[in-house]
Amino acid sequence: MIPVLVCALGIFLLSAMDAAMKVLVIAVGVYNTVLWRSMLATVVAGAAWSAGTRSWPTLSVLRLHALRAVVVGIVLLSFFWGLARLPLAEAIGLSFVAPLFALLLAALLLGERIQRQAIWASLAGIAGVIIIMAGQFGQASYPKDALLGTAAVLASTVFYAYNLILARRQAQVAKPIEIMLFQNLCVAITLGLAAPWLAVALPGNLWLPLAGVTALSLAGQFLMSWAYARAEAQYLIPTEYSAFIWAVAIGWFFFNEVATWTTLTGAGLIVASCLIASRSNPRLAEPIEAAV
């Protein structure tokens, strides 16, 4: 039970991080939020990497770090841009389709065979997305940019699925602290290329929330990594979908967002489909924030 409880705590911390990121994105935009968070996370991860036993990665490993950083950068920008335009529960619910995309990419890139139950699960997941979207645009008062926000979140799940494939390769050649350092460093460098035109100085009152976001992200990733190293995925996967419960609660408490029945129904279908699909490949059924 201890790994399960630790994993659930990690999910809670990452859910709180999503809410804090939404506040920062609304305040200074997604580019500056992700840029400053990546820079701060690089400093923290760099200090931890320097304090321990370390070795400089080879050129091929550096290329893998850089490739995954580009993919993660796209995931971060698209997901948090969409998060700022959607209720927290809807964005988290839509993000759960990532494992389904991962199963498809595993078949295309790794040659894995898709089982029949995974195909039916994917159809159920698509139905869940359609229900959520139907509920969104059936409301006359719904913001006009909700469609763009939904598209951004769904796009982030596709890139995140590819990120999962890269994460498998990365974990075989590098330690977690090295991955965290070079991933954040490469994201900061990539986004920094546009800094002369897009970057703005972070207001003083937002540095503490930014530090909190970074701490929540690193702590959540550490706890989930610790749990997955000590228990099989089949026991931990169900706890990951508690993120939707936290999203509903946090969205209601901090943003006055009320989850509609279409959001609850659609998210329920998506979660059920992911649980079914995970039985065919449990390694790929992971939440969107675990590797971000």
- State the pLDDT at residue 285: 47
**Rounded Cα–Cα distance for residues 116 and 280 (Å):** 9
- Which whole number is the average pLDDT over 199-216? 91
- State the pLDDT at residue 290: 41
- Which whole number is the average pLDDT over 164-193? 85
Q: 227-274 pLDDT, tens per residue?
A: 877 876 667 777 778 888 899 999 999 899 888 888 889 888 888 887
Percent of the chain's residues with pLDDT above 90: 32
Higher pLDDT, 55 or 283: 55
- State the pLDDT at residue 279: 66
Q: Is the pTM of this model over 0.75?
A: yes
- Which whole number is the average pLDDT over 135-139? 67
- State the pLDDT at residue 2: 87
Q: 7-40 pLDDT, tens per residue?
A: 889 889 999 999 999 999 999 999 999 999 999 9
Which one of 47-56, 210-219, 276-285 scores highest in mean pLDDT? 210-219
Is pLDDT at 65 greater than 80 in this prediction?
yes
Is pLDDT at 96 greater than 60 in this prediction?
yes
